[in-house]
Amino acid sequence: MAQVIPDAWQVPNRIRQRVGAQAGRQRAIVEEGHLLLITHELPKDDEITRPAKLFWRAPDGTWRATGAGQSSGLPVLKRHLESILQAVAQLDDRVDAGKTAQDFFNVLNAATPLQRTTRNLHKALQDAREGVEDRDIITLRDSAGELERAAELLVGDARNALEFTVAKNGEAQAANGQRAVEAQHKLNLLAALFFPVTAIGSILGMNLRTGMEHAPPFVFWAVLVMAFASGFAIRGSLNK
């Protein structure tokens, strides 16, 4: 069965037996003074599995890393933590520059798996620290703890910004809705005021004999006053 541990690494068989064809979660395995540190690459969008990056520390203190050949793996591990720090800083800048809810949602969508990665990396380095006495591991463990805290703050800031933006947009929509209701109410008042006038005018303007064709002028003014009085009465009932 294929293994993710390079064949050239002289790790104990007990370590090889604990790692299958896939690297699995981030963790530290310590056997007979050997340390195998399994980490994950930075999470990418729409990526289900995380490519693994392995680091081996021999009992004599030498480090190896997958993809680094025979060169020391410790600088590779340090650069791995630096790349995580850069990713957190870039997302933090996107939070500061964000304007819309979609901006903050995109940051939150990218920051959540990054937070999980840093948390698991910190735990793995803590386990490595407990299994192997090495000043470099202590330093890396502390750096991973700071990364976990930074990622946690990033997720919190993005979530707060998203919630604030959604609430702010909700308030703006509510205010616009209230203004629309007030404008509609004003239109209703105007319609109520002139409705009797237009209705009576339409009725009296019909080409039918009503018996009022030769009425004196005061009848017109009386009808007009009655129409407006009805309009004011209807308008007053709408206000109530």
Q: Give the domain-ending residue among 122, 142, 169.
A: 169
Q: What pLDDT does 1 receive?
A: 38
Domain-ending residue, one of 124, 144, 169: 169
Give the pLDDT band of residue 151 (cuts 50, 70, 90). very high
- Kindly state whether residue 97 falls inside one of the protein's structural domains: yes
pTM value surpassing 0.85: no
With 50 as the cut, is the pLDDT of residue 205 above it?
A: yes
Is 198 found in the same domain as 144? Answer: no
**149 and 39 housed in the same domain:** yes
Residue 188 lies in a domain: yes
* DSSP secondary structure string for all residues of the chain: ---SS-TTS---HHHHHT--SS--SSEEEEETTEEEEEEEPPP-TT-SS--EEEEEE-TTS-EEETTSTTS-SHHHHHHHHHHHHHHHHHHHHHHHH--SHHHHHHHHHHHHHHHHHHHHHHHHHHHHHHHS--HHHHHHHHHHHHHHHHHHHHHHHHHHHHHHHHHHHHHHHHHHHHHHHHHHHHHHHHHHHHHHHHHHHHHHTSSS--S-TT--HHHHHHHHHHHHHHHHHHHHHHH-
Contact 98, 107 (CB under 8 A): yes
> Which tops the pLDDT comparison, 227 or 35?
35
Q: What angle do CA 222, 223, 225 make, to 5 degrees?
A: 65
Position 24 scores a pLDDT of: 86
205 and 120 assigned to the same domain: no
Residue 80 domain-assigned (yes or no): yes
Expressed as residue numbers, the domain containing 200 is 178-239
pLDDT tens for each residue of 102-145: 999 999 999 999 999 999 999 999 999 999 989 999 999 999 99
Q: How confident is the model at residue 73 (pLDDT cuts 50, 70, 90)?
A: confident
Residue 8 counted as domain residue: no
Q: How many domains does the chain have?
A: 2
Both structure tokens of 90: 């870039």
Among 120, 138, 169, the domain-final residue is 169
